[in-house]
Structure 1
Amino acid sequence: MMKSDIIIIGAGPGGYETAIYAARNGLSVTIFENRKPGGTCLNEGCIPTKCFCRNAEILDGIKDSAEYGVNDMAYTFDFGQVIERKNRIVAGLIEGVEFLLKNKLITFVKEAASLIDAHSVRSVSGEIYSCDHLIIATGSVSKNLPIPGNNLPGVLTSKEILDIEKVPENLCVIGAGVIGLEFASVFNSFGSKVTVLEYAKEILPNFDADISKRLKQALGKKGIEIVNSAAVEEIRENADRLSVKYGYKGENREVVADTVLMAVGRAANVESLNLDVAGIVYSSKGIVTDDNMETNISRVYAIGDVNGKCMLAHAATFQGRKVIDHILGKENTIRLDIIPSAVFTRPEAAMVGCTEDECKQQGRVYRSKKAMFRANGKALSMGEPEGICKIIADEDGVIIGCHMLGPHTADIIQEISALINRRTTVDELSSMIHAHPTLSEIVQECAREF
């Protein structure tokens, strides 16, 4: 039996980053992964989709070239090269992760593992490993609507569509969350006619309503049809295409498409872990943990998507860091209630902190102000005036939330995230010098509205 200070099951961002941080602090780690390291984020999520987003940005620039005096441009679009470039970038990053795991304190076992008890596991090959502390970081898997036809050829998940052979003429996306909207935006730029069906009344239900509504309008202007309050009931074969049947306000409707993307969320990956044998409590949302990511079993932790708290790669990374600090008894200042998130549509959407609806539900006293990108010189010079910045402050003027739609807001939101962490007021932000002309001036202009 091999013994280490820590066993980590799963080598996604939460798993491998935690292993590296633990080793830097002198802890021995055994980490298990039966797929390529990097998890969903690197292999079939964040990174490959951002590669697609860059291709979409280039294509949109070419289409708008006449606006910038570049006329009569002719081009061809080789989708095979798009896939090849994506694969090359992902492979390079996987190689980088594998290099980082080549640490004398880290044993990387390229197999799956299941629990024997709370502090020992068995690999697929039958080897037994034990530890003082166990961290489960197995991530999540794509959900699938339990409807007839959900497994027909041409019905894809976010993993499979990344390796599709050609751009579909008609794409139907089921689900208007982050994943669904990013692919809808990308394939719209690639030339697909895109229809999005969403059961909820609004897109991006976790985002501020002002941002969701404006993003829906912006995507509509690009030709993406988004149908809210759409209850998808069945997918049928229709000659060589697919027919998606759905109900809408008492009517029976359908969308005919070459490809259907099932983007209805993700579920904690707890299958095959054998959690019951260790007595670990879990639900349909994931493994239950406390604020230190510790389960009901002492010295057993769950981080990342598998605990269902926040399904973002950077959340998993910092949850893992919090676990290691807890194990070491180190002081930790990580604010897991302040996690920025972004949607890489065109235009981008980003948020951090409280939404206005959350403030109302909590009975919290707040003020909110807005500033528009159409008054930002850099945005106008870029030809991207579509967008808004909305800041929410408490009764003392302390910033508690920010919600943005517009160019590069995924990058700009980090400034507000840092300021919220330091309990900065809108008055303080309004007096902080920003370079001109920059997109980030939008947050200062918004603060000055208070």
Structure 2
Amino acid sequence: MSQPNGGTFDIVILGAGSGGYAAALRAAELNLSVALIDKAEVGGTCLHRGCIPTKALLHAAEIADQTRESEQFGVKADLVGIDMAGVNAYKDGVVGRLYKGLQGLLGHNKNITLVAGAGKLVSRDTVEVNGQRYTGRNIILATGSYSRTLPGLEIDGTRVIASEHALKLNRVPSSAIVLGGGVIGVEFASVWKSFGADVTIVEALPRLVAAEDEEISKTVERAFRKRKINFKVGKPFEKVEKTENGVRVTIAGGETLEAEVLLVAVGRGPSTAGLGYEEQGLTLERGFVIVNERLHTGVGNIYAVGDIVPGLQLAHRGFQQGIFVAEEIAGKNPAVIDEAGIPRVTYSDPEIASVGLTEARAKERYGADKVTSYNYNLGGNGKSQILKTAGFVKLVRVEDGPVVGVHMVGARMGELVGEAQLIYNWEAFPEEVAQLVHAHPTQNEALGEAFLALAGKPLHAHS
């Protein structure tokens, strides 16, 4: 990053992660001058410590599983072992190439000034960095998130680790306890099991991936049992002790578990402390910046996007919010983002993809007697049989109305969520989607078949 000497801009953006850099690029397209400030690398958590490196590990894990199971496809291969140096080189190579591309994209844009350093909001229109002041006719706060822990649970980076430490491990732990059965927890549990570790997930809530539809949770739990990934649900954490070879974790009921490492995956907190937000009159709740539906903070011309705003902490949410605010500032009057219409993917094995409301949430909103659902089993899908994957596509519909939720579990389901997102966001009726032609043989047909069945004309399924 460059180090200019302050100045005045149309927009000053604090934070160059997904939300910040998307806002900068869109604003620059709209011919607005931008100062983009970050204390670390452009790309933020997603590129360097989150989405991209974890998915690289998950792909390596998939290759390991395919090698281990290759004989069932008539291919004889031996899995000699996991070379973590090689895996990390592959992972870091992916991150490096994307980082270089993003640096070039931002750095060569004449409307964007990159500023390296820890910024602080010192007035309603000014951010100070390294003693220099950057004044913005508008301010966008996009300072991201950090790995949370629990009271009394200290992350030391060696035996008790967070996701950023797990991404840098130069070995496969022989055993691991994963504290948290949400997205981060089940993804790392899936990776380590594929790499050969003994894994146990501890989750205080009554089921894994509790934010997803309950039937998704049941399927994931069944698949994890089959994979011999251990899990304890409804078991809050009590304490951790260091042992000679690792850690000893005590959970509710006095039960103890031992492993080489404990991964703390209890969610991410908003990075807002000490940045001057409250001093300038912004409203914070549990550290999150409160905004209206147009992402305005209610103070001056200050907006907030991404993980510091209450809601789903997803890179693509921040990305879309950044674009929205840039267009809002430019007077384009963009449509308000529907939070339920943001697709959600968990890249474990099996993979989870969803958009819209769960069946339980839909019944709360519309009434239990107004909501119907339909499950299409992947056993009836040709490509899923070829891939030897199990799972389902579930549709949630309001009576005589549109589909308000699509929930999928099985191999490669994340690749189907694009069509599901369009169906939800366009408030499509089953009868409308049933008219669309889906290529054969693809897993995409599973969506088509589900909608045919919901429209009352099932082919490879029972209505």
**If the length of structure 2 is used for normalisation, what is the TM-score?**
0.94
What is the distance in 2 between the residues matched to 1:24 and 1:329?
14
In structure 2, the residue matched to 1:340 is 343
1:194 match: secondary structure: strand
What is the distance in 1 between the residues matched to 2:374 and 2:195?
36
**If the length of structure 1 is used for normalisation, what is the TM-score?**
0.96
Question: Are the structure 2 counterparts of residues 152 and 428 from structure 1 closer, same or farther at C-alpha, using a change threshold of 3 Å?
Answer: closer
**Contact 1:149–1:236 (CA<8 Å) still a contact in 2?**
no
**Contact 1:280–1:296 (CA<8 Å) still a contact in 2?**
yes
258-267 vs 396-405, greater mean Cα deviation: 396-405
In structure 1, the residue matched to 2:457 is none
**Contact 1:285–1:307 (CA<8 Å) still a contact in 2?**
no
What is the distance in 2 between the residues matched to 1:73 and 1:2?
61
In structure 1, the residue matched to 2:29 is 24
In structure 2, the residue matched to 1:350 is 353
In structure 2, the residue matched to 1:400 is 404
Question: Are the structure 2 counterparts of residues 148 and 436 from structure 1 closer, same or farther at C-alpha, using a change threshold of 3 Å?
Answer: closer
Quote the offset at 1:165 in angstroms.
Answer: 1.6
Quote the offset at 1:430 in angstroms.
Answer: 1.3
Question: Are the structure 2 counterparts of residues 75 and 240 from structure 1 closer, same or farther at C-alpha, using a change threshold of 3 Å?
Answer: closer
The one-letter code sitting in structure 1 at the alignment partner of 2:162 is T
Per-residue CA distance 1:330-353 (angstroms, 9 max, x = gap): 132353331001000011001100
The one-letter code sitting in structure 1 at the alignment partner of 2:11 is I
In structure 2, the residue matched to 1:51 is 56
Does residue 319 of the first structure (1) align with residue 321 of the second (2)? yes
**Contact 1:294–1:302 (CA<8 Å) still a contact in 2?**
yes
**Contact 2:203–2:235 (CA<8 Å) still a contact in 1?**
yes
The share of aligned pairs that are identical, in percent, is 33
In structure 2, the residue matched to 1:428 is 432
Partner residue of 1:64 out of 65, 69, 73:
69
1:362 match: secondary structure: helix
In structure 2, the residue matched to 1:440 is 444
**Contact 2:190–2:349 (CA<8 Å) still a contact in 1?**
yes
Partner residue of 1:243 out of 231, 244, 248:
248
Question: Are the structure 2 counterparts of residues 72 and 100 from structure 1 closer, same or farther at C-alpha, using a change threshold of 3 Å?
Answer: closer
What is the distance in 2 between the residues matched to 1:404 and 1:139?
28
Question: Are the structure 2 counterparts of residues 110 and 148 from structure 1 closer, same or farther at C-alpha, using a change threshold of 3 Å?
Answer: closer
370-379 vs 152-161, greater mean Cα deviation: 152-161
Quote the offset at 1:203 in angstroms.
Answer: 1.2
**Contact 1:399–1:419 (CA<8 Å) still a contact in 2?**
yes
Matches within 5 A, 1:17-416: 17-71=22-76, 73=78, 75-102=80-107, 103-123=109-129, 125-148=130-153, 150-151=155-156, 153-247=158-252, 251-333=253-335, 335-337=337-339, 338-364=341-367, 365-384=370-389, 386-416=390-420
2:206 match: secondary structure: coil
What is the distance in 1 between the residues matched to 2:334 and 2:375?
34
Question: Are the structure 2 counterparts of residues 366 and 99 from structure 1 closer, same or farther at C-alpha, using a change threshold of 3 Å?
Answer: same
**Contact 1:287–1:306 (CA<8 Å) still a contact in 2?**
yes
Q: Which runs of 4+ in 1 moved over 3 A?
A: 148-153
Q: Which runs of 5+ in 1 are unaligned?
A: none
What is the distance in 2 between the residues matched to 1:259 and 1:361?
40
Per-residue CA distance 1:364-395 (angstroms, 9 max, x = gap): 322110101111110111122x1010001112
Quote the offset at 1:150 in angstroms.
Answer: 4.7
Per-residue CA distance 1:287-326 (angstroms, 9 max, x = gap): 0000111002031000000112221001001111111221
**Contact 2:362–2:404 (CA<8 Å) still a contact in 1?**
no
In structure 2, the residue matched to 1:9 is 14
The one-letter code sitting in structure 2 at the alignment partner of 1:105 is N
Quote the offset at 1:149 in angstroms.
Answer: 5.3
364-373 vs 21-30, greater mean Cα deviation: 364-373
The one-letter code sitting in structure 1 at the alignment partner of 2:262 is V
1:201 match: secondary structure: coil
What is the distance in 1 between the residues matched to 2:387 and 2:260?
35
What is the distance in 1 between the residues matched to 2:249 and 2:74?
42
2:76 match: secondary structure: coil
Question: Are the structure 2 counterparts of residues 343 and 152 from structure 1 closer, same or farther at C-alpha, using a change threshold of 3 Å?
Answer: closer
Quote the offset at 1:72 in angstroms.
Answer: 5.7
What is the distance in 1 between the residues matched to 2:157 and 2:78?
40
What is the distance in 2 between the residues matched to 1:284 and 1:199?
20
1:272 match: secondary structure: coil
Q: Which runs of 5+ in 2 are unaligned?
A: 1-5, 455-463
Question: Are the structure 2 counterparts of residues 220 and 322 from structure 1 closer, same or farther at C-alpha, using a change threshold of 3 Å?
Answer: same
The one-letter code sitting in structure 2 at the alignment partner of 1:354 is L
What is the distance in 2 between the residues matched to 1:235 and 1:441?
47
Question: Are the structure 2 counterparts of residues 270 and 447 from structure 1 closer, same or farther at C-alpha, using a change threshold of 3 Å?
Answer: same
**Contact 2:146–2:271 (CA<8 Å) still a contact in 1?**
yes
What is the distance in 1 between the residues matched to 2:237 and 2:157?
15
Give the RMSD, CA atoms, in angstroms: 1.3
80-89 vs 358-367, greater mean Cα deviation: 358-367
2:193 match: secondary structure: helix
